[in-house]
Structure 1
Amino acid sequence: MQSQFAQNQPIEVSSALLKATSIGAEKVEEASELAQNATSPMCFQTHFESCMELYADAKTVANYLDSHQGWFGECAEPMKVEPLGDNAYALTIGRFGAFGYEVEPKIGLELLPAEAGVYRIQTVPIPNYVPPGYDVDYKSSMHLVEVTTDGVPMTRVEWQLEVAVYLRFPKFIYKLQKSLLQKTGDRILSQIVRQVSRRLTFKTQEDFHTALGIPFPPKKSKKG
């Protein structure tokens, strides 16, 4: 026997129940989003500009840059360098970290031949290597500006680069404030880029002038 109440009473859902259900759904959705973000890679970026002064004409400098196979590996020390064909290299940058997490980035860079006077470097995959929890996007360009200083030809190699690093941290790292992670990651990346760039610049200047038998910096001629 069916209940008269069940047959004749309309089904009503209170606004309080609807609100509670809605809030519950939002919390589930929010929790799902947080869980996804906890394993999503974070992106750290930096931009850097500088120049390298080489005391020779632009043609001599261009010939030197084109024959990078003879100097790049040595000038990149203490980074480990492995050639990848004629114009590319695999570089192990070093070990860096913060908050108890460390990474030893290894990237492939291709030194493209000059096009319209502009030299470019870009990331390329390293054969049989899968980066453990990170990815690097490196792009740089440089051009030559020839000037004369005290009667001595000098070429300024002016360059700029953009680096983006995508890191997938262990879960315990994501418990930290995201803004703190972002600020720290950007700062460390900037320090790495500046440190590597300055060291590479100095060693390249040293190698270039030694190879050509040019004092560095050149002795200024006496006047009068």
Structure 2
Amino acid sequence: MVVRNQFEERLKELHQDLLTMGIMVEEAVYNAVKSLVFKDVDLAEKVVDGDRAINDAEIEIEKKCMMLIALQQPVGSDLRRIATTLKVSSDLERMADHAVSISKTTIQLKDEIYAKPLIDIPKMSDIVKRMVHDCLDAYIHMDKEAAAAIAKQDDQIDAYFKTIFTDLIELMNKDNAWINQATHLLLVAQYLERIGDYVTNVCESIVYMSTGQVVELNN
């Protein structure tokens, strides 16, 4: 019984570590797009510099997962919970990498005047940020129904990406002076789209953790 209680305490600590990491990633995505919209280079650099802490958090979570597996030799649902935490931390780290890429775009475009106000990219970002937040909540509560519902929101992300892609291609065709800027903004939309895909991965991991079933959500 004592061993079981120790395991549960360490698992609870692991979940808290992942939640803390997730909040950092959520903030990084928000600040990255905010820096782009307002051309806030200082904020962009803050996101870039903050990536080290997120990487360190992933490494620490991985170490704790490996230690739990080695010391407790979990099986069944216990092993799934640890394996899911390991996978989710990896997906979160990749989301943060894309936030860094968006921030670097801010720095690259800092001296340019936007061809038109950024509207769809911030809207796309709002959905992505909400998905990141909600998937973390679903993870903590092992809520497979919520996870499936969150994954469906990726359709909205894809729709925004298609709209942005079409608009930027049209802009480049009209005036090749905008090719550099449009290409960078297209990459930003792609980074956000990829973050949405990683959220879907997290949602699939939540279903696996809860049921033991490997599923493809929103395929």
TM-score by length of 1: 0.27
User: As a proportion of its length, which structure holds more helix?
Assistant: 2
TM-score (normalizing by structure 2): 0.28
Larger radius of gyration between Structure 1 and Structure 2: 1
